[in-house]
């Protein structure tokens, strides 16, 4: 029996109905190419195999490789953040370790070879932050490249060992279909500055940029606005105006 390791954020999903629901949501069919991140003991992997998809599984834990090697998949023993994406026309399906959820999402949606979609089981709180009406750094960063929605929630009792929080399955889609035509380096620099202090107004967070008050007035954004009250379009307009000034 493989004992889940805390250092890898391993919480194995054991509910077969939920596993089937995830695969159904990803709309996996014959001849699809699926990249699975952290297959663990292979429960989700086996469901994907039943759909006759081609599976490429990236597993960091060497203890699991022998068990997974018995399955009819392409298996790579590597940290997903070190994996070089050279695929095309593929889908990502995964039960992600909660502690590296956002870096993994960013890696794929910003890639030169992005997936068609990502169907992911992640921490409920993170899923709600990404899909909330209120803005946050993760939400805007993902919206810049793609769309995201919550599909359903998963009780923490469905995992072994039981984590401290519930999960949620989200789908990220339309990846790189409509990337804003703007200086990306400047956009994310300003975005990070803007969310640096959540309780401060956007004027205070961006005070290092000359003429920020005039820019906000020009865009009809009240000077007491907080970062969470600005949507993606607002941020694009702010960055566009700062780009003119700098």
* pLDDT per position as a tens digit, 179-223: 999 999 999 999 999 999 888 999 999 999 989 999 999 999 999
Whether domain 184-245 has CATH 3.80.10.10: the reply is no
Are 130 and 144 within 8 A, CB to CB? no
Model confidence at 11: pLDDT above 80: no
Whether domain 6-173 has CATH 1.20.120.330: the reply is no
Q: How confident is the model at residue 64 (pLDDT cuts 50, 70, 90)?
A: confident
Query: Where in the chain do CATH 1.10.8.100 domains reside?
Result: 184-245
Q: Is the peptide bond before 64 cis (omega within 30 degrees of 0)?
A: no
Model confidence at 176: pLDDT above 50: yes
Mean pLDDT, residues 81-88? 96
Q: How confident is the model at residue 4 (pLDDT cuts 50, 70, 90)?
A: very low
Unique residue bearing structure tokens 């992600």: 96
Query: Where in the chain do CATH 3.40.50.150 domains reside?
Result: 6-173
What share of the chain in percent tops pLDDT 90? Answer: 77
91 burial type by CB count under 10 A (0-12 exposed, 13-18 middle, 19+ buried): buried
Average pLDDT, the chain: 91
Q: Tens of pLDDT along 220-241?
A: 999 999 999 999 999 999 999 9
Q: Tens of pLDDT along 138-148?
A: 999 999 999 99
Model confidence at 245: pLDDT above 70: no
Letter string b/e over residues 170-207, b meaning 16 or more CB atoms within 10 A of that residue's CB: bbbbebeeeebeeeeeebbebbebbbeeeeebbbebbe
Q: How confident is the model at residue 9 (pLDDT cuts 50, 70, 90)?
A: low
Compute the distance between CA of residue 230 and CA of residue 212 in angstroms, rounded to an integer. Answer: 15
Cβ atoms within 10 Å, residue 223: 12
Compute the distance between CA of residue 144 and CA of residue 178 in angstroms, rounded to an integer. Answer: 8
Torsion from C-alpha of 75, 77, 81, 82, nearest 10 degrees? -110
Least confident of 43-47, 73-77, 95-99, 109-113: 95-99
Compute the distance between CA of residue 13 and CA of residue 168 in angstroms, rounded to an integer. Answer: 12
Token digits of residue 96: 């992600």
Write down the pLDDT at residue 127.
97
């Amino acid at each position: 029996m493989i004992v889940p390791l805390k250092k890898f954020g391993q919480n194995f999903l054991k509910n077969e109905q939920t596993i089937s629901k995830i695969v159904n949501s990803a709309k996996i069919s014959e001849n699809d190419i699926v990249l699975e991140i952290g297959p663990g003991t292979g429960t989700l992997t086996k469901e994907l195999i039943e759909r006759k998809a081609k599976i490429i599984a990236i597993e960091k834990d060497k203890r699991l490789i022998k068990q997974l090697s018995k399955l009819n998949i392409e298996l790579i023993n590597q940290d997903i953040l070190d994996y070089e994406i050279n695929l095309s026309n593929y889908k990502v399906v995964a039960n992600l370790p909660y502690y590296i959820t956002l870096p993994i999402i960013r890696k794929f949606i910003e890639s030169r070879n992005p997936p068609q979609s990502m169907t992911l089981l992640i921490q409920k709180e993170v899923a709600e932050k990404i899909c909330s009406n209120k803005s946050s750094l993760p939400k805007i960063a993902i919206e810049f490249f793609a769309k995201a929605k919550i599909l359903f929630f998963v009780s923490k009792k469905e995992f072994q060992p039981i984590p401290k929080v519930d999960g949620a399955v989200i789908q990220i889609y339309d990846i790189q279909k409509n990337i804003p035509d703007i200086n990306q380096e400047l956009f994310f620099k300003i975005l990070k500055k803007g969310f640096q202090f959540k309780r401060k107004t956007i004027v205070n967070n961006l005070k290092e940029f000359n003429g920020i008050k005039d820019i906000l007035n020009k865009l009809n954004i009240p000077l007491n606005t907080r970062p969470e009250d600005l949507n993606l379009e607002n941020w694009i307009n702010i960055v566009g105006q700062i780009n003119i000034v700098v």
